[in-house]
Amino acid sequence: MSTLKEKIFVMAIGALIGLVLLLTPGLAVAQFAGGTGEQTNPYQIATADHLNLVRNYLDKYFILVADIDLNVAPYNTGDGWEPIGTGSNPFTGSFDGNGYTIRNLYINRPSSYPAGLFGRISGNIRRVGIEGGSVTGLYYVGALVGYNAGGTISDSYSTVSVYAQSEVVGGLVGYNYGGTITNSYASGNVTAAASAYYIGGLLGVNTGTITSKGTITNCYSTGNVTSTGDYVGGLVGHNYRGDITTSYATGIVEGKQRVAGLVGSSWYGEINRSYATGQVTGELRVGGLVGNHSTSGIINKSYALGNVNGVERVGGLVGDNHSEIYDSYSTGDVTGNTNVGGLVGFLRGDVVEVISRSYATGVVEGSVHVGGLVGRRDDNTEITSSYWNTETSGQTIGVGNGSSTGCTGLTTQQMRDQTSFDGWDFAAVWNMEASLSYPWLRDNEQIPHPGKISPSNNLPTKPELVYPANGQQGLDSTVTFKWRPSTDPDGDPVTYDIYYCLDPDPINNCSAKQVASVNRAKDIYHAGISFGGIGTILAGIFMARRERRRLFLLLAAVIISGILINSCGSGGDGTEEDVAGGGEAENYITYTASGLEPGKTYYWAVVAKDDKGGESASDAWSFTTK
């Protein structure tokens, strides 16, 4: 009997389990706003709780259908948000942000990794923004993804500040292994604990294999990156078997070793058509674009603009170069102690170490091995068709220690002359404004162009004073100054400074009152009724008495009289309203001053200014108050 009961019990349990399994898809649908989790019908996420459930369906398809605010319990207290996907169980599905934003992401897990909205992924994430909040983790830390293991991230961004207690931290992604990141950016500041490694504004580490490199394309970062450790970059901390294309960084970067505006260190990777503009500070291997550019790497068609400060192996583009540089330049000032160069601090020789068709223009200062282009150069290296500005750099030699073969010093004028650059391709690679700029890259154009000077500026016309008339007396304590507007031959916008006081030299001895916006006032004419106008009215009335169409004729007479009335001036008595006398109405610039002292002689003048520094001053006139 007991055996039969046991069988029945087992059968019931089995049926119950089967029923649960059968109903599981429907249960998942009820947990989301809609969808089935398939590619053609992804699960719809409309709330923070919906987003939290993604971790239960890591291989499914998802889409946001609303902005999500994570500033709600339990996601905004304690450890905060728990990252989706782990090292042993990553997210392998597809997450489409659909252009929506996830706000107030809070993660406070200084002893946990990976850390981010997603912990570890090998799937796809696209079209999502993360705004506000903060992310803290041990390592593999990024606002969007902690560890990207071959996944794809596109059209996404983060404004969140990110911090790593240990290492490998980026503003968007911590670690990218063989993955692809495109059209994405990070603007939050990135920091790490003392002596931490691999810190970047967008990515901590970008890496891969010989056959499957990590790739970054059309991405940027604008946040500041700060650490006392190594491998610190405005975009990427360390690039190893990774390629970076058409990307840039603008934030301030501070670190210890292998520190740079774009990439702290790059090995076996290519950096193409990219740039950095932020100031860089470090100690060893410090560069405006790359700190340490090592084995089998290429920098091509790239530039750096930020000032660079370091101690040893300090360069405007690269601090320590052990690889190839083509068609690139730097314009920032470079300051260091040993092995300091306008373009490269130390050009080391081994296999293929090349600098070709590149230039530097920034101030270069140091103590030992200092050069306008390269600080120190090994013998088995190659420099071809490369230049430095002898005037702006303050350096008369191109290489501080080593051969200067392939380096040519140019004056500023020569730097703006295309014929100075031997062997350069100005049809496809470079371009320049003759006599106005240094060379710039056609498919990585710097705006404004490097070394750009404005052509000669034509000054605005001299302001013509109108009222008060020169020597006019008996004015009240409140006066509205009037002058005719200036014109600028170049079409530049014009503003005015008006000067008035008791000194006969008002421009040099009076305080200026700026008329930032143009206040135009039409002169008002007093119109008198001429005898011709009166006669026309009377004639019209007389004629109208004898004709049936008297109403029409009377109206016509009134209109004609009105025209005559408005075309006649009153002759003027020198007051503000009629100072121009008769004639057509004009536009004036006006400025009203009050509180003038009675019985005093004032002097006034106007200066017209364009936005390029051009100025034209009027004559100085006087008037006396009553």
- The pLDDT-based confidence of 523 (bands split at 50, 70, 90) is very low
Pick the residue with more confidence: 571 or 13?
A: 13
pLDDT computed for residue 429 by the predictor: 98
Pick the residue with more confidence: 438 or 572?
A: 438
pLDDT computed for residue 83 by the predictor: 98
Strands in 382-519 per DSSP E:
382-384, 386-389, 399-401, 407-410, 430-431, 440-441, 464-467, 472-475, 479-484, 494-501, 512-515
Give the separation between CA 54 and CA 68, rounded to whole angstroms. 14
Inform me whether the pLDDT recorded for 225 exceeds 70: yes
Give the separation between CA 479 and CA 477, rounded to whole angstroms. 6
Inform me whether the pLDDT recorded for 552 exceeds 50: no
Helix, strand, coil share of the chain (percent; to 5)? 15, 40, 45
pLDDT computed for residue 156 by the predictor: 98
Pick from 27-36, 234-243, 331-340, 541-550: least confident: 541-550
pLDDT computed for residue 512 by the predictor: 83
Concatenate the DSSP letters of all residues of 285-308 into one string: EEESSEEEE-TT-EEES-EE-S-E
Residue pLDDT, tens place only, 470-492: 999 999 999 999 999 999 988 88
Residue with tokens 């042993």: 88
Give the separation between CA 552 and CA 388, rounded to whole angstroms. 85
Pick the residue with more confidence: 557 or 350?
A: 350
Pick the residue with more confidence: 434 or 263?
A: 263
pLDDT computed for residue 13 by the predictor: 53
CA angle 180, 184, 186 (to 5 degrees): 120
Compute the average pLDDT of residues 201-229.
Answer: 96
Residue pLDDT, tens place only, 233-281: 999 999 999 999 999 999 999 999 999 999 999 999 999 999 999 999 9
Closest CA to 185 of 229, 138, 247, 269: 247
Residue pLDDT, tens place only, 559-572: 333 333 333 333 33
Compute the average pLDDT of residues 26-38.
Answer: 78
Compute the average pLDDT of residues 607-622.
Answer: 89
- What is the pairing mode between strands 290-293 and 263-267? parallel
Give the separation between CA 455 and CA 449, rounded to whole angstroms. 13
Distance of CA 444 to CAs 7, 193, 221, 301, Å?
Answer: 76, 35, 17, 7
pLDDT computed for residue 11 by the predictor: 53
Token couple for 429: 């690679």
Compute the average pLDDT of residues 206-217.
Answer: 95
Indicate the SS3 state at residue 413: helix
What percent of the chain shows pLDDT beyond 90?
Answer: 75
Inform me whether the pLDDT recorded for 163 exceeds 60: yes
Concatenate the DSSP letters of all residues of 52-70 into one string: HGGGG-TTSEEEE-S-EE-
Give the separation between CA 314 and CA 363, rounded to whole angstroms. 13
Compute the average pLDDT of residues 86-107.
Answer: 97
- What is the pairing mode between strands 621-625 and 601-610? antiparallel
Inform me whether the pLDDT recorded for 556 exceeds 90: no
Distance of CA 230 to CAs 208, 563, 574, Å?
Answer: 20, 84, 78
pLDDT computed for residue 533 by the predictor: 39
Give the separation between CA 253 and CA 222, rounded to whole angstroms. 10
pLDDT computed for residue 453 by the predictor: 82
| pLDDT averaged over every residue in the chain | 86
Inform me whether the pLDDT recorded for 202 exceeds 70: yes
Which ranges in 397-451 belong to alpha helices (H)? 412-415
Give the separation between CA 580 and CA 357, rounded to whole angstroms. 65
- The pLDDT-based confidence of 9 (bands split at 50, 70, 90) is low
- The pLDDT-based confidence of 5 (bands split at 50, 70, 90) is low
Closest CA to 408 of 434, 370, 374: 374
Crossing angle of helices 531-546 and 550-566, rounded to 10°: 180
- The pLDDT-based confidence of 529 (bands split at 50, 70, 90) is very low
Closest CA to 496 of 604, 375, 393: 604
Compute the average pLDDT of residues 221-244.
Answer: 97
Give the separation between CA 44 and CA 51, rounded to whole angstroms. 9
Distance of CA 43 to CAs 72, 75, 153, 369, Å?
Answer: 22, 21, 19, 62
Pick the residue with more confidence: 26 or 382?
A: 382
Q: 198: Cβ–Cβ under 8 A, 6 or more apart, which residues?
A: 167, 168, 169, 204, 205, 231, 237, 238, 264
The CATH number of the domain covering residues in 464-525+571-625:
2.60.40.10
Residue pLDDT, tens place only, 140-154: 999 999 999 999 999
Inform me whether the pLDDT recorded for 18 exceeds 60: no
What percent of the chain shows pLDDT beyond 70?
Answer: 83
Compute the average pLDDT of residues 319-330.
Answer: 96
- The pLDDT-based confidence of 352 (bands split at 50, 70, 90) is low
Sign of CA dihedral 348, 349, 353, 359: positive
Report CA 228 to chain centroid distance, whole Å.
Answer: 26
φ, ψ dihedrals at 106, nearest 5°: -125, 115
φ, ψ dihedrals at 5, nearest 5°: -60, -40
pLDDT computed for residue 490 by the predictor: 85
